[in-house]
Chains A and B, each alone.
Chain A
Amino acid sequence: MPNSQFSIFNSQFKMFYHALQIDAPRCIGCSRCMKICPTEAVRIFGGKASIQEHRCIDCGKCYEVCPAQAIGIKDDDFEAIHRYPHSVALLPAVFMGQFPDEVSVSRVYASLQELGFAHVMEVESAAMIYADAKNRYAHEHPDVRPLISSFCPAIVRLIQIKYPSLTENVMPIKVPLDLSAMYAVEELVSRGIPREEIGLFYITPCAAKIAAVKAPVGEERSLIDGVINMNLLFNRVYKHIKEMGKSHQYKPLSRQRLSADAILSTLTNGERRICAAKRSYAIDGIENVMDFLDKLENDEVEGVEFLELRACDQSCAGALLSYDNRFLCGERMYARARKAAERERNGEMPRDREMEKYRDYLIDHSLVDEVQPRSMLVLDEDRVKAFEKMEKIERMKTHLPQIDCGVCGAPTCEAFATDVVCGRADLHRCVFYRLHLEAKGKMTLGEGRSNMYSVWGDDRISGEIDV
């Protein structure tokens, strides 16, 4: 049973919005998600997975491995765009990377308008202003090094829960999505469009971005009115293009939308290659990031000024809702960037440069509150109680098998011991401990079996196996 101290935590944990949720009827309790979760946030009980909210960073590793599609993403309904006469599609550049080569950028833009968006804008339009805002912040805060990019929301949350001493290194700066949303509002209002007629919809490549929009770190609320699943929108757009056929006349784009630098900014090294820092690292893949942050926290890495950290391998090209292979998507983005660079060399100014006139305004409004730690590791806010719990955990660990079999419904023996001491699990869920008790006559086979059923459900074994 949860003790009183945990319920205090519990009310605090409820403040953390999560975009990932387990659809219990679909969940088959296979525990793949429990084994892969990088922050050990998943537990199995009653034959179903559940997420410990204070540990989840919405990285989506569980979503990728779920064989039953039982992990849902809390996105918004596409139809909501029709509520606003001036609906704006805020696209991530990786959206273009989903389409095969023969589908041009202008075709995608035109299709989105034919599907009902009044305006289409790629959020990377603000990539260069974001870079400038970071450079300015770095200049104004010479004592804080390394500075960590705020770009990837899963990383910001990872730092909050697992590396609390590094929260002050995260630059509290609005990401390109928020800057471009601000720009869209300013620009449309300046054209005489009433603010209430403008609806901003972000097409998200991942779950963490949804959480970032619904519960932003360092801000009261986001400007974004809705978040649309990139996979679903890809299906709609691609279907539209197929239905319209090759002969359909799409409204051509007057000129390219993004500069080469902006297109590449969401890929690995995209921020690093245009930042002013001398020594910097671009690290993708959450395990790689954790390896690095462990070293950084010990002060083992010297002289590093800037860190671009992304939770997904190949950054946003490898995002959860990026339907195509991350390398194919990445190469398409490089191809688009090469073309853009060529046109820039020929003197064509990409459309994103129009944002320049709002540069000062956007940079002046780019700061958010400092990122606060919310450590998942804290056993109790009262240190004396935390200390008692830790001693109990250490004692319990010496009795547990230390093979991390997961049969108790927790990913490791240590996680299980922590759950037991914090009142979240019953010690008898350990199969080794039960065998020990059964052998000593302290527990009946029937009691042992019902313990097993309590974790995994009562339909796992159907009878004797005849091979």
Chain B
Amino acid sequence: MHQEYTVVEGDFVNAGKASSSVKKTLKQLNVNPQVVKRVVVALYEAEVNAIAHAYGGKVLVDIDADKIKMVVADKGPGIPDIALAMQEGYSTARPEVRDMGFGAGMGLPNMQKNVDKLNVTSEVGVGTTVEMEVAF
């Protein structure tokens, strides 16, 4: 099953639309509630990241009977040093984003913690793609 969502730059009001919809789907599939939670937390982080740092992007979700694959692909400044961005507390968020309670530098580490597979690819000046996979 394939689902697609659009992420708009700076639109924090609509953050969580994709993760909420995915949450409902996984509940219907009788996925273990704790696994649902991990998926939702990771996807929400990725959504917020794209909203906060990029100029918008897309969330692509593919669900089958035993796993979920999520791709959050944004057009944006890209991440120059992915290894550095994976460290807890490292953040490049603008002050106004931090004031909203986002951008604490926990995004990528939190995704890593919650998913089975995480792959981040990025090109500076073009954008970032976060691929995540969780087995049920």
- List CB contacts (< 8 Å) of A355-411 with chain B: 373, 375, 377-381, 383-384, 386-387, 390-391, 394
A157 vs chain B, min Cβ distance (A): 16
What CA separation (Å) do A129 and B103 show in the bound complex? 42
B25 touches A390 (CB 8 A): yes
A300 touches B16 (CB 8 A): yes
Contact A165-B33, Cβ < 8 Å, known A298-B44, A299-B40, A387-B1: yes
Contact A383-B30, Cβ < 8 Å, known A297-B40, A298-B40, A299-B44: yes
Contact with A along B16-45 (1 / 0, CB 8 A): 100110011101111101101100110010
Residues on A with beta carbons closer than 8 Å to the beta carbon of B65: 383-384, 387
B21 vs chain A, min Cβ distance (A): 11
Q: Does B96 contact A (CB under 8 A)?
A: no
Q: Does A268 contact B (CB under 8 A)?
A: no
What CA separation (Å) do A300 and B16 show in the bound complex? 9
Contact A386-B29, Cβ < 8 Å, known A298-B23, A299-B44, A377-B24: yes
A384's nearest neighbour on chain B, judged by CB, is B65
Contact A383-B27, Cβ < 8 Å, known A298-B19, A390-B1: no
Q: How many residues belonging to A are interface residues under a CB distance threshold of 8 Å?
A: 24
Contact A387-B64, Cβ < 8 Å, known A299-B44, A379-B28: yes
Q: Does A87 contact B (CB under 8 A)?
A: no
What CA separation (Å) do A383 and B34 show in the bound complex? 16
Q: Does B66 contact A (CB under 8 A)?
A: yes
Q: Does B55 contact A (CB under 8 A)?
A: no
Residues on B with beta carbons closer than 8 Å to the beta carbon of A390: 1, 25, 28-29
Residues on A with beta carbons closer than 8 Å to the beta carbon of B5: none
B31 touches A383 (CB 8 A): yes
What CA separation (Å) do A116 and B40 show in the bound complex? 56
What CA separation (Å) do A299 and B30 show in the bound complex? 20
Q: Does B136 contact A (CB under 8 A)?
A: yes
A298 touches B41 (CB 8 A): yes
What CA separation (Å) do A379 and B1 show in the bound complex? 15
Which of B16, B27, B29, B136 interacts with A298 by CB under 8 Å? Answer: B16
B40 touches A386 (CB 8 A): no
Residues on B with beta carbons closer than 8 Å to the beta carbon of A383: 29-31, 65-66, 136
Residues on A with beta carbons closer than 8 Å to the beta carbon of B40: 297-299
B28 touches A386 (CB 8 A): yes
Query: Nearest 4 pairs between A and B by C-beta?
Result: A165-B33, A164-B33, A377-B27, A378-B30
8 inter-chain pairs at a CB distance below 8 angstroms, sorted by A residue, are A298-B19, A298-B23, A300-B44, A302-B101, A373-B33, A377-B28, A390-B25, A390-B28
